[in-house]
Copies of this chain bind each other. A is one copy, B any other.
C-alpha cells in the first residue's frame, strides 16, 4: 500500500500535477513502482482529504485546468514515519516465468520466440537506464546518489535477466542436440 509513499517521494522535490506524476511513474520511479494515471488521481484525492498534500488550481487557456500538488507537513511526517518501519519484501508475480516453469507443455521454439521478445524489452530498458546513469555519473548531491543507486539496481537487474536468457538458449540448444541425435 505504498503508491502513496511513492507519490510523496516525488512531491518532495517539486510541485507537480497528476499528469506530471503519471509521466514520472512511466519513467523514473516506474523502475521500482508501477502505477497508472487513474490510480494516481485517485490516490491524490485521498492524500488531499488527509491533508498530506494540497493543491492550487492553475487555469490554463486552451488546455484544461490543472491542479498542482505539493506535499504538506503532515505528508512529510507520514513519509518519514513510513521510511522508518521495515518494508515488506516485494511479492513476485511474473507471468512469463510461470510459462517457463510450465514449459514442458509448450514447444521450445515458441518459448524461444517469446524469450527474444522479452529480451528486446530488457535490452531497451538497459540502454535507457545506462544513459540516465551516465548523465548522473558526477553524482554529487545526496539526491543524485540515490537516483543513481536506483538506476544501478535497474541495470544490474536487466543484466541478470539477459544472462539468464543466454543460459536458457544454450540449455534449449543442448536439449535439441540430444533429441535430434537419437
Contacts and interface: CB of A to CB of B under 8 A. Distances in A.
Interface of A: 2, 5-6, 8-9, 12, 28-34, 79-80, 83-84, 86-106, 110, 114, 117-118, 121, 141-143, 145-150, 152-153, 156-157, 159-161, 163-164, 167-168, 171, 175
A92 B153 contact: no
Q: Which secondary structure dominates chain A's binding surface?
A: helix
A152 to B, nearest CB: 6
B97 A79 contact: no
A101 B152 contact: no
A7 to B, nearest CB: 10
17 contacts: A6-B101, A31-B92, A32-B93, A34-B91, A34-B92, A34-B93, A83-B99, A87-B114, A90-B96, A100-B149, A101-B147, A103-B145, A104-B146, A145-B175, A152-B164, A156-B163, A159-B160
